[in-house]
Amino acid sequence: MEHTKFTPQTWPDKAEQATMEGRNKFVGIWIFICSDITLFASVFATYLSLKDKGPAGMEFSAAELFELPLAFVMTMLLLTSSLTSVYAMYHLKNHNFKGVQIWMSITVLLGLGFLALEIYEFYHYVHIGFGYTQSAFSSAFFTLVGTHGLHVVIGLVWIVCLIVRNAKRGLNLYNAPKYYAASIFWHFIDVVWVFIFTVVYLMGVLG
Amino acid sequence: MSSVAVSNKKGFGATLWDYLTTVDHKKLGVMYLFAGTLFFAIAGFEALLMRIQLMIPNNDFVSAGTFNELLTMHGTTMLFLAATPLLFGFMNAIVPLQIGARDVAFPFLNSLGFWLFFLGAIFLHLSFFLGGAPDAGWTNYASLALYSPGHGIDFYVLGLQISGAGTLISGINFIVTIITMRAPGMTFMRMPLFTWTTLISSTLILFAFPPLTVGLFFMLVDRMFGANFFDHTMGGNTIIWEHLFWIFGHPEVYILVLPAFGLFSEIIPVFARKRLFGYSSMVFATILIGFLGFMVWAHHMFTTGLGATANAIFAVATMAIAVPTGMKVFNWIMTIWGGSVKVTVPMLYALGFIPSFVAGGVTGVMQAAAPLDYQLHDSYFIVAHFHYVIVGGIVTAIFGSMHFYWPIMFNRALNEKLGVLTFWIFFIGFHLTFFLQHFLGLMGMPRRVFTFQADQGWDLFNFISSIGAIMMAIGVVLLVINIIITAKSKPLNCRDYWGDGRSLEWAIKTPVPFYNFKQTPLIRGFDPYWLEKHDGNKEGMIYAEPLGDIHMPNNSILPLVMSIGTFIAAFGALYHPDGVAWSIPVIIIGLGITVASMILRSVKDDLGYHVHVEEVIATEEHLYGKGGNK
């Protein structure tokens, strides 16, 4: 199946599910996301119960710490990257491999931008004394946002591997499900960020 | 690859390499079974030491500290490293055969799941040699565990983190397998009950293990990297651990008991020689138990002080679980009722299971009443209750299924006479051990105590309980002897060993070829093999495809390498709080190995290989002789 050459005319409708391996990957990534949702739910619940909790007389609180402009820029970068990965999947459906590679690359660049801002944000907090071990609040905050950041890193490494590995050989039924699964995972990361933006930053600033 | 199928004489090195790299669900099933048996024996030995300590009052056979380590390791090992892999062994070996699949959906992940579990288990057990085992109970409550000296708790956290990841991976694999890999005609409502319970229990794994992962991660960073999730002086809260642990811990009970229910639902119809009574209600009850299993975790925390309203809600939800479970019990009884019952060893275990499990369930409903639970909490009544559920429900299922499925898994049958003897010694020993513990609990004996004062009315019951434990140990030794004897017996080379097999796994001849069915079968209804037998089909199944090339996955060493990477990284994390310079580099090297293997796996195409028609025919002739009459 790797050597079958396709044209946009012969390319199957649901290429990502055209083979049994592809269908397994498609179902598998959704099932995996179910468990990842539970993982994030547990961390969210912990964050909410430890928000603003710290040693007696702690000077940090969510209302003073978080700033919406930076979080807004990060949100926009990540939401846009989700959109560009949809474009990549659009081209995947039409067997336009160049389009897939270009839009996936743009997705990676936007993801890197998000990651850079997150690293800057963490560096800033640590710099002003709000380190990982400072309080229960800081541990919970860094764990929640850091777990999401780790997912972003994994997603980026995954997509970069796909782009580099397949650069010379084009689209086939073996790698189409891989692109598709990576894109679903990327959307999931995006959805989690929407909740982080709401629960951590918006609710944090509101107090 | 082509000659692998036919050549069967291999050197030790080649065989070892084959098992280290295999992705075959049948071999992994056997590996799970033996790894599980190993840890079952270790944990059983720990239990025996505890019962010897408690045999007489004021005993000093083991010290209080050692006793704490024994009780922690007994519980942890039995649940995570014995019962789970033993059931995974049957799931791996049987479920793909029951649904007519060549293998599981992700054979590579299947192997990865096994190696993560196994290395995590080894890591946990290294604690005995490296400064002391964990000693805060299998529940590892943070208020106790956070301040436990030494590295015991760190071994617990890291070992379970690794093996838990393996369990989660296997769970995802089974769900996808059952959704996508069923043979044509095998609709959901024609699936055998064991496949159904595997599906539901894998779904429970899917939702229950992530909270455990999170809880263990919190414990890990709290103890090793200075975080403050549970330290109340820094704003933390130890109750978070209790919630996360029991959100995992209660479904874990159903993760284990549902496949056990499934196994009995396979055994009982075969030996009652009747169709399973109330199949649809069995499926419905399984789903309902799985659903309700997530609504009841706080019944372990009635005395924590969540308030009357929370306690009442969780009490009612807990009692509700008795309804679907009762449906199952009545269905089993109705299946046996009026059947032409053949009392073989598996059936003996099934007959012993029903009253034992009902007893465990009834005491469970007693504890669901929150006010009564205030009396029973942390007493021997609880110990008696959950051992009735776990030994009476899960261990009997595992022992019974060993006898039941040994012909398919090993092409040999376990000795029946020795099996009957084993059953009676184990079963009587089990009731002797745990029945009186109910009364010890009601008399006020707390659990997890390493000794007790004489003349409180506890002496005789404790003594009898210890005698029972010794009988259980003898039973297990007899089972192991049976396995060893059977390994030397003649291969069966037959189909449908018990003569009354109903589901698809009995339609295939043993030894099962590495590709399972030479042609994918076509399923015409529930109990497909019984249907075909009834219609006089000598072959046992009809096929959905002509004989053709078979596509199989490649073996790989990468799952083992990935698991070793996490194993190395765990050592770095473990010694981090000691302030050694090499801890962070070791973590980076270990995780580097894992990540590098993952990337290698990702960029290297793994397209599998094809077994050609001629090789299939040659293999079948080699296994069964010409015309299938070997």
In this predicted model, which residue has the larger pLDDT, B5 or A70? A70
3-state secondary structure of A7: coil
Structure letter (DSSP) for residue B234: G
Q: Which of B228, B248, B255 to mutate: most A Cβ within 10 Å?
A: B228
Averaged pLDDT for residues B232-254: 95
pLDDT tens by residue, B547-594 = 999 999 999 999 999 999 999 999 999 999 998 899 999 999 999 999
* Structural tokens at position A18: 């055209």
Exposure string for B328-340, b = 16+ CB within 10 A, e = fewer: bbebbeebbeebe
Could you give the angle at the alpha carbon of A189 between the alpha carbons of A185 and A193, nearest 5°?
165
Predicted confidence band of residue B604 (pLDDT cuts 50, 70, 90): confident
Nearest to A27 among B180, B215, B218 (CB): B180
**Whether the Cβ atoms of residue B43 and residue B71 lie closer than 8 Å to each other:** no
Give A132→chain B minimum CA distance, Å.
6
Q: A58: which chain B residues are within 8 Å (Cβ-Cβ)?
A: 235
Please name the residues in contact with A54: beta carbons below 8 A apart, sequence gap of 6 or more. Answer: A60, A134, A135, A136, A137, A138, B228, B234, B235
Q: Does B602 touch chain A (CB under 8 A)?
A: yes
Chain B residues 550-579 with a CB less than 8 Å from chain A = none
In a domain, A90, yes or no: yes
**Whether the Cβ atoms of residue B350 and residue B276 lie closer than 8 Å to each other:** no
Please name the residues in contact with B301: beta carbons below 8 A apart, sequence gap of 6 or more. Answer: B242, B243, B246
Q: Does B611 touch chain A (CB under 8 A)?
A: no
Q: Does the beta-carbon distance from A24 to B105 stay under 8 Å?
A: yes
Write the burial class of residue B200 (CB in 10 Å: 0-12 exposed, 13-18 middle, 19+ buried).
buried
Parent domain of A173: 15-206
Q: Does the beta-carbon distance from A174 to B180 stay under 8 Å?
A: no
Q: A53: which chain B residues are within 8 Å (Cβ-Cβ)?
A: 235-237
Q: B233: which chain A residues are within 8 Å (Cβ-Cβ)?
A: 55
Which amino acid is residue B319, in one-letter code? M
ipTM score of complex: 0.95
Residue A2 has pLDDT above 70, yes or no: no
In a domain, A139, yes or no: yes
Please give the pLDDT value at position B328: 97
What does the alpha-carbon distance between residue B173 and residue B27 come to, in Å, rounded to a whole number?
Answer: 16
Handedness of CA B308, B314, B318, B321 (dihedral sign): positive
Find the closest chain B residue to A53 by CA distance: B235
Nearest to B210 among A20, A35, A162 (CB): A35
Nearest to B332 by CA among B362, B355, B359: B355
Report CA-CA distances (Å) from B70 to B66, B75, B125, B378, B435. 6, 9, 12, 17, 22
CB atoms within 10 A of CB B312: 11
Residue B627 has pLDDT above 70, yes or no: no
Predicted confidence band of residue A148 (pLDDT cuts 50, 70, 90): very high
Q: Does A46 touch chain B (CB under 8 A)?
A: yes
Give me chain A's average pLDDT, please.
94
Could you give the angle at the alpha carbon of B337 between the alpha carbons of B335 and B342, nearest 5°?
80
In a domain, A118, yes or no: yes
Q: Does the beta-carbon distance from A53 to B236 stay under 8 Å?
A: yes
Please give the pLDDT value at position B435: 97
Averaged pLDDT for residues B189-207: 97
In a domain, A32, yes or no: yes
pLDDT tens by residue, B127-178 = 999 988 999 999 999 999 999 999 999 999 999 999 999 999 999 999 999 9
Residue B497 has pLDDT above 50, yes or no: yes
Find the closest chain B residue to A51 by CA distance: B235
What does the alpha-carbon distance between residue A156 and residue A111 come to, in Å, rounded to a whole number?
Answer: 7
CB atoms within 10 A of CB B480: 12
What does the alpha-carbon distance between residue B309 and residue B466 come to, in Å, rounded to a whole number?
Answer: 40
Please name the residues in contact with B251: beta carbons below 8 A apart, sequence gap of 6 or more. Answer: B204, B207, B208, B290, B293, B294, B297
Q: Does B234 touch chain A (CB under 8 A)?
A: yes
Give A27→chain B minimum CA distance, Å.
6
Nearest to A46 among B105, B213, B229 (CB): B229
Please name the residues in contact with B313: beta carbons below 8 A apart, sequence gap of 6 or more. Answer: none
Nearest to B458 by CA among B444, B468, B472: B444
What does the alpha-carbon distance between residue B33 and residue B483 come to, in Å, rounded to a whole number?
Answer: 12
Please give the pLDDT value at position B30: 96
Q: Does the beta-carbon distance from B602 to A165 stay under 8 Å?
A: yes
Q: Distance between alpha carbon B8 and the CA centroid of its chain, in Å?
A: 31
Rg over alpha carbons for chain A, rounded to the nearest Å, is 20
In a domain, A30, yes or no: yes
pLDDT tens by residue, B417-430 = 999 999 999 999 99
Nearest to B602 among A135, A137, A161 (CB): A161
Query: What is the interface size between A and B, counted as CB pairs within 8 Å?
Result: 115
pLDDT tens by residue, B283-316 = 999 999 999 999 999 999 999 999 999 999 999 9
Domain count, chain A: 1
* Structural tokens at position B522: 């076509």
* Structural tokens at position B320: 């509700």
Q: Does B207 touch chain A (CB under 8 A)?
A: yes
pLDDT tens by residue, B612-625 = 999 999 988 888 87
Residue B2 has pLDDT above 50, yes or no: no
Give me chain B's average pLDDT, please.
94
Nearest to A71 by CA among A183, A205, A207, A174: A205
Averaged pLDDT for residues B200-221: 96
pLDDT tens by residue, B353-402 = 999 999 999 999 999 999 999 999 999 999 999 999 999 999 999 999 99
Q: Dump the DSSP string for A76-143.
A: HHHHHHHHHHHHHHHHHHTT-HHHHHHHHHHHHHHHHHHHHHHHHHHHHHHHTT--TTS-HHHHHHHH
Q: Does the beta-carbon distance from B235 to A55 stay under 8 Å?
A: yes
Please name the residues in contact with B488: beta carbons below 8 A apart, sequence gap of 6 or more. Answer: none
Q: To the nearest whole percent, how much of chain B has pLDDT over 90?
A: 91
Find the closest chain A residue to B606 by CA distance: A174
Predicted confidence band of residue B1 (pLDDT cuts 50, 70, 90): very low
Q: Does the beta-carbon distance from B603 to A161 stay under 8 Å?
A: yes
Which CATH number is A125's domain given?
Answer: 1.20.120.80
What does the alpha-carbon distance between residue B222 and residue B230 come to, in Å, rounded to a whole number?
Answer: 7
What does the alpha-carbon distance between residue A72 and residue A93 come to, in Å, rounded to a whole number?
Answer: 32
Nearest to B234 among A38, A135, A158 (CB): A135
Report CA-CA distances (Å) from B433 to B430, B444, B445. 5, 17, 15
Record: fold of B2-556+606-628: Cytochrome C Oxidase; Chain A (1.20.210)
Q: Does B225 touch chain A (CB under 8 A)?
A: yes
Q: Does the beta-carbon distance from A46 to B218 stay under 8 Å?
A: yes
Averaged pLDDT for residues B505-522: 92
Please name the residues in contact with B292: beta carbons below 8 A apart, sequence gap of 6 or more. Answer: B317, B320, B321, B324
Q: B244: which chain A residues are within 8 Å (Cβ-Cβ)?
A: 42, 46
Please give the pLDDT value at position B606: 85
Averaged pLDDT for residues B325-332: 97
Find the closest chain A residue to B179 by CA distance: A27
Residue B5 has pLDDT above 70, yes or no: no
Averaged pLDDT for residues B328-356: 96
Give A204→chain B minimum CA distance, Å.
17
* Structural tokens at position A106: 């743009």
In a domain, A159, yes or no: yes
